[in-house]
Amino acid sequence: MRLPPFQKLIDRHGREVHRFLIGLVGRDEADDCYQETWLAALRAYPRLRDASNLRSWLFTIAHRKAIDHLRTRRRVPVLAGELPDAGTQTLQPADETLWDQVRDLPDKQRTALVLRFVVDASYTDISAVMRTSEEAARRSVHEGLKRLRREYQP
């Protein structure tokens, strides 16, 4: 199968990839991951042998960049002077609180939920991105929803 021009790939999947990354790492950090995703894809594109599922290939790259970003962020020390006082925290809108809770889910559940409900990916696509079985993808979505229902307080 012949590869389409790289710009067509960006035009076709760019918005979905960005929405997926917002769901995984948050709005503030999604842009960096988005750029890293496309740079990695551009580097690998000429060597790509199978172009049958470019969408899943892109989401796999985006997923890996998000995981790398989250791992890096967890290793950054936070100075005690930067922490807000417990009494001065402001309430967030319900949707931001929900997305904060989604980002706190275990990686597999978070990724599966974002792919399913933000990108509207099929379980086949979710399993391809996460490199797991379709049943495991369904289970990750189910467990993530179950945990959110149990823990989410708007």
Percent residues over pLDDT 70 in the chain: 84
What domains sit in the chain, N to C, each tagged with a CATH number?
Answer: 6-77+92-151 (1.20.140.160)
The mean per-residue pLDDT over the stretch 90-116 comes to 79
Instruction: Return mean pLDDT, the chain.
Output: 84
Asked if residue 37 has pLDDT above 90, the reply is: yes
Please write the tens of the pLDDT for every residue from 40-53. 999 999 898 888 88
The model's confidence at residue 1, banded by pLDDT at 50, 70 and 90, is low
Q: Which pairs from 93-99 meet CB under 8 Å and 24+ separation?
A: 94/154, 97/152, 97/154, 98/148, 98/152, 98/154, 99/23, 99/26
pLDDT of residue 94: 54
Helix (H/G/I), strand (E/B), else coil: 122:
coil
